[in-house]
Amino acid sequence: SIYHPDDRDEVFDILNSAIKNKTPFNFIKKIVRKDGNIRYVESYGMPEYDTTPDKKLIGFVGTFQDVTKKYEEQQEI
């Protein structure tokens, strides 16, 4: 729910694809902070599974970095 409404469906699709294919993901998308400010964040990660034979998804591991300044500078160029 932290992701901007314009980006939520795509983030959902990216994460579902990572789960389905057991592959890493990487994307830059907008989030909406509690104060209403919009920031661009870059996310790298991968799904994490338990060690049972069913390999059930237990979550994601990765990084989440604010890249707003870098993103805005690139858009100006």
- Per-residue pLDDT of 13-60, as tens digits, reads 999 999 999 999 999 999 999 999 999 999 999 999 999 998 899 999
Spatial distance between the Cα atoms of 50 and 2, rounded to a whole number of angstroms: 26
* Lookup result for tokens 């959902």: 12
Q: Is the pTM of this model over 0.85?
A: no
Q: What is the pLDDT of residue 60?
A: 95
